[in-house]
């Protein structure tokens, strides 16, 4: 069974978003070992300098990479845009190729360090639009569930 992990910087604060993630986690249990791990966001002043931001991203990145398992997939604005069927095919291709674990990585509001992006097997963009990180987490859970449904010829995707 494939292992899917989502690593996130910051906590999911809204109860309705937590409930949505919990629902997708429950559904995903039929297809994979699924987990979401939150790490603390580095504290920054109200108006951080670029150097302070980069230092925080570096520290967060080191922590994220220490927890990542298998093929890392970073969510970032400059990532590849994939349709739901394309994401399903990408996960299937990698699994058939021997990948047994995938770690999706969502950074802070300042993004991800260059090191995390460079060490990722795939950079993925959800959309050219910008979404709050908390909503992006729910959307990612749904898309992972949809990918498993597509790959198992389930009716959810239709």
Write phi, then psi, for 39 (nearest 5 degrees): -115, 155
Residue 157 has pLDDT above 90, yes or no: no
The SS3 call for residue 54 is helix
CA distance to 34, 56, 106, 107, per residue, from 69 (Å): 12, 22, 14, 16
Residue 43 has pLDDT above 90, yes or no: yes
Average pLDDT over every residue of 43-56: 95
Residue 158 pLDDT class (50, 70, 90 cuts): low
CA distance to 35, 37, 102, 111, per residue, from 126 (Å): 20, 20, 17, 14
Write phi, then psi, for 79 (nearest 5 degrees): -75, 175
The SS3 call for residue 8 is strand
Q: Which residues pair with 91 in a beta bridge?
A: none
The SS3 call for residue 94 is helix
* pLDDT tens digits for range 103-147: 999 999 899 999 999 999 999 999 998 888 899 999 999 999 999
pLDDT at res. 89: 97
> What percent helix, strand, coil does the chain show, rounded to 5?
45, 25, 35
Residue 17 has pLDDT above 80, yes or no: yes
* pLDDT tens digits for range 54-109: 999 999 999 999 999 999 999 999 999 999 999 999 999 999 999 999 999 999 98
């Amino acid at each position: 069974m494939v292992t899917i992990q989502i690593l996130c910087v910051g906590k999911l604060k809204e109860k309705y978003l937590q409930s949505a993630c919990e629902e997708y986690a429950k559904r995903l249990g039929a297809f994979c070992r699924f987990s979401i791990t939150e790490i603390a966001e580095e504290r920054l002043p109200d108006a951080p300098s670029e150097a302070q931001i980069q230092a925080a991203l570096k520290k967060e990145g080191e922590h994220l990479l220490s927890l990542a398992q298998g093929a890392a997939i970073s969510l970032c604005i400059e990532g590849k845009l994939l349709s739901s069927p394309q994401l399903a095919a990408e996960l299937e291709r990698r699994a058939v190729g021997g990948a047994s674990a995938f770690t999706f990585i969502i950074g802070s509001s300042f993004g991800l360090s260059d090191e995390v992006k460079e060490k990722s097997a795939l950079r993925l963009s959800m959309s050219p639009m910008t979404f709050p990180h908390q909503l992006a987490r729910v959307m990612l859970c749904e898309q992972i569930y949809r990918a498993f449904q597509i790959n198992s010829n389930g009716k959810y995707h239709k």
